[in-house]
Amino acid sequence: MSIEMQIDDVRTSLRNQTESLNNHTFTQLNSMRKWLNDSIKPISAPVQDGNC
């Protein structure tokens, strides 16, 4: 496996982990708002187009 392919794999893995963390964080915040009966509009995860 070439170094370029390995770098791409690391970038993809990091991007996936970042998206997973964002989704988890937004889920936790929305759950807390529901638990607190907060009327603020729920937070949604940002959409990424894959070019970031």
* Selection from 18, 19, 25 nearest residue 43 by Cα: 25
Structural domain range at position 19: 7-43
Residue 12 falls inside a structural domain: yes
The runs of H, that is alpha helices, within 1-52 are 3-35
DSSP conformation class of 40: S
pLDDT digits (tens, 9 = 90+) for 1-52: 799 999 999 999 999 999 999 889 888 888 888 888 876 666 666 666 665 5
Write out the two tokens for 45.
């995860």
Residue 52 falls inside a structural domain: no
Residue 50 falls inside a structural domain: no
Residue 35 falls inside a structural domain: yes
Residue 19 falls inside a structural domain: yes
State if pTM tops 0.75.
no
